[in-house]
Structure 1
Amino acid sequence: MELTTLHWFLLIVSGAFEIVGVAGFERLHRGQRALGLALLVGGFGGSLGLLSIAMRSIDMGVAYAVFTGIGTLGSTLMGMLFWGESRRPLRLAFVGMIVAAVIGLKLAS
C-alpha cells in the first residue's frame, strides 16, 4: 500500500475513533462512568494519535477538516439513530453540506 494511501486510511480510522470518544461523553452523561471514561480516553487518544501519523503526508488543514467532518457526521448520525436527536430536514441538509465540504477539500488538495 502506498504511504499516502495508508495515511488516508489512518485518517478515516482516526475519524472513527473520534466518534468513539464522543460516545464516551454520552455514556458519562448517562452515568456509565467506567465505560464512558474508557471510550472517551481510548477514542480520543486513538483519534489524535492516528491523526498525527496521517498528517505526515496530508496537509494539516485538509487532514483536520476531514477528521472533524467524519467525527461530526458520525456523531450526528449516532445521536439520531441511538439517542433520539432531531432528524429535521434542515439539520440533515447542513450535515450534507459538511460532507460536501470535506469531499471538496479532498478533491482540491
Structure 2
Amino acid sequence: MAWIVLVVSGVLESVWAVALGRSQGFTRLTPSVIFVVALVASMIGLGYSLRSIPIGTGYAVWVGIGAVGTALAGMVFLGESANILRILSLLLVVAGVVGLKLFH
C-alpha cells in the first residue's frame, strides 16, 4: 500500500509543480488553490509512505516521479521541447526509479 501511495504522491507533485507555474506568482486563484491542495496531499502521502519505505528510497522515487511527470506535462501540454535527448534523459530517471524499487 505504501508504494501505491508514494506513486500517487509523486503524481501529485507534478500537479502542484504545474499549478505553481500556472498560478503566475499566486495571482491566479484556481491554479493557486490546486497548488495548495496538491502540495498538502502530496506531502501527506509522502509522509505516510516513509513510515514503511526507507527515506532515501522513498524520497528519490517521489522526486523522480514528480520530475518526470512535470517534464512530460511541459512537453505534452505546455509546448516545451521534446527532443530525443530530453526523452532519453527522462528514461534514465525512470530507470533509476525502477531500480530503486527493485533493489529496495
Flag whether TM exceeds 0.5 (same fold).
Answer: yes
Aligned twin of 1:8 = 3
Aligned twin of 1:89 = 84
Aligned twin of 1:18 = 13
Aligned twin of 1:28 = 23
- Does the aligned pair in 2 maintain the 1:7–1:57 contact within 8 Å? yes
TM-score (norm 2): 0.93
* Identity %, equivalent residues: 38
Q: Structure 1: which 5+ runs fail to align?
A: 1-5
Aligned twin of 2:51 = 56
Q: How many residues align?
A: 104
User: Bigger shift: 8-17 or 19-28?
Assistant: 19-28
TM-score (norm 1): 0.89
- Does the aligned pair in 1 maintain the 2:26–2:32 contact within 8 Å? no
Q: Structure 2: which 5+ runs fail to align?
A: none
User: In the aligned structure 2, how far is the partner of 1:85 from the partner of 1:31?
Assistant: 22
CA offsets 1:6-30 (integer angstroms, 9 cap, x no match): 1111101101111110121122129
Q: CA RMSD in A?
A: 1.5
* Stretches of 4+ aligned residues off by more than 2 angstroms: 29-32
